[in-house]
Amino acid sequence: MNKAFVKETDAPDADEDDVAAPALPAGSKNYMTPAGYAQLDAEFNQLWKVERPRLVETISWAASNGDRSENGDYIYGKKRLREVDRRIRFLSKRLEYAEVVDPATREDTDQVFFGATVTIADESGKASTYAIVGIDEADAGRGRIAWISPMARALMKAREGDTVSVQTPDGRREVDIVEVRYQTID
């Protein structure tokens, strides 16, 4: 069959959003800290203003070289352009529905809400500190947990001195809330 009648991509999900990104709960806002919003906005601008125009220029040049069926620059460029366009669509949706909440401007309270930095202690006395952030900013290795995670949901609306029960992969465990503070999260 002539390649003119065959779809260029072999990826079945060419038009789907980023499947690796966590989904927002239905009807909820996309809460983010100012730093998280700035990071997504910077990525969007880099892709839209720098990388995409460069790719279009490369694809245009490669297409002018003739036979596209064996032109690696053209084939790879088109594939990369689809990936960039998919990411741009995803980021624009996330930014459009973003609700930026600055924890530094929140009044002092000992109750846990979005943006709180919470220090907890488990039964053995081991202390851990977590910042409750948006789903696009979560990074457990840096102590940032998404507000929709089981740990954050268990901590929400609790106060300093409270003991909460958290379902973990190792089973249910009790943790004490040692400190709640609101500060700028980088």
Q: Are residues 120 and 177 in the same domain?
A: yes
- Taking the model in full, what pTM does it have? 0.79
Is position 91 within any domain?
yes
| Percent of residues, the chain, with pLDDT higher than 70 | 88
Per the document, the length of the chain is: 186
Residues 96 and 107 in one domain: no
- Please give the DSSP secondary-structure letter assigned to residue 102: -
Say if 1 falls within a structural domain: no
pLDDT digits (tens, 9 = 90+) for 54-112: 999 999 998 888 788 888 889 999 999 999 999 999 999 999 999 999 998 988 888 99
Same domain, 148 and 78: no
Top pLDDT among 125 and 11 is at 125
Last residue of a domain, one of 68, 100, 132: 100
Give the domain extent around 153. Answer: 103-182
Question: In the Cβ-directed half-sphere of 176, how many Cα atoms lie within 13 Å?
Answer: 9
- CA–CA gap between residue 129 and residue 178 (Å, rounded): 9
Boundary residue ending a domain (50, 77, 100): 100
**3 occurs within a structural domain:** no
Q: Report if residue 12 sits inside a domain.
A: no
Indicate which CATH number applies to the domain containing 129: 3.10.50.30
Give the CATH number of the domain where residue 51 resides. Answer: 1.10.287.180
* Residue 75 covered by a domain: yes
Is 110 found in the same domain as 94? no
Q: Which two tokens stand for residue 39?
A: 């990071």
Spatial contact of 30 and 96, defined as CB atoms under 8 Å apart: no
Same-domain status, 63 and 84: yes
Q: Is the residue at 173 inside a domain?
A: yes
Looking at the structure of the chain, the number of domains it has is 2
- pLDDT greater than 90 at residue 4: no
pLDDT of residue 20: 57
Residue 22 lies in a domain: no
- Cα–Cα distance for residue pair 33/113, rounded to 1 Å: 12
Are residues 120 and 127 in contact, defined by beta-carbon separation less than 8 angstroms?
Answer: yes
Would you say residue 15 has pLDDT above 90?
A: no
Same domain, 72 and 123: no
Distance CA 80, CA 109 (A): 48
Please say whether the dihedral angle defined by the alpha carbons of residues 171, 133, 26 and 155, taken in this order, is positive or negative: positive
**Of 127, 118, 132, 131, the residue nearest 180 (C-alpha):** 118
pLDDT at 8 over 60: no
Give the H/E segment covering residue 73.
Answer: helix 72-96
Q: Among the three residues 100, 118, 142, which one is the final residue of a domain in this structure?
A: 100
Distance of CA 89 to the CA centre of its chain: 14
